[in-house]
Amino acid sequence: LEWLDGNHFHLPSPDRASVDLFIYEKCGYDTDLSTMSRSFRSINTITVEDGDVRRDECSGYLRHLIDHYPDPADFTLFFQADAADHMQYGYLSLVMRALELHSLTTPFVHLNYP
């Protein structure tokens, strides 16, 4: 998750947009998140046990949707731990700047690329 704490992409300034980070831990890692605290309003780690159902990121996404269904955020972005293998940081920066400027008007943005 080192990519979250670097200068790989633009994060909105705290006075323009509040960004909460939810990490759904599925692999039993105890990740040190102390250096990331300055970038996010809050950091939440939730353990997800798949059991025999699934062994991929989908159960983490579903857990978030269920937990936050009554009061969803204005925008929710889902990433895999190895995000750089699935998206371009430059494109993510454009989306984050649009969020910061409150100019993103589309209900869905696909961040992955083939």
From the list 6, 19, 9, 7, the residue with the least C-alpha distance to 87 is 9
Position 28 scores a pLDDT of 77
- Residue 71: what residue type? D
Rounded Cα gap, residues 46 and 22, in angstroms: 7
Structure confidence by residue, pLDDT tens digits, 15-51 = 899 899 998 888 777 877 877 767 788 989 998 887 7
Rounded Cα gap, residues 33 and 43, in angstroms: 8
Residue with tokens 């323009």: 16
Position 114 scores a pLDDT of 63
- Residue 53: what residue type? V
Rounded Cα gap, residues 44 and 39, in angstroms: 13
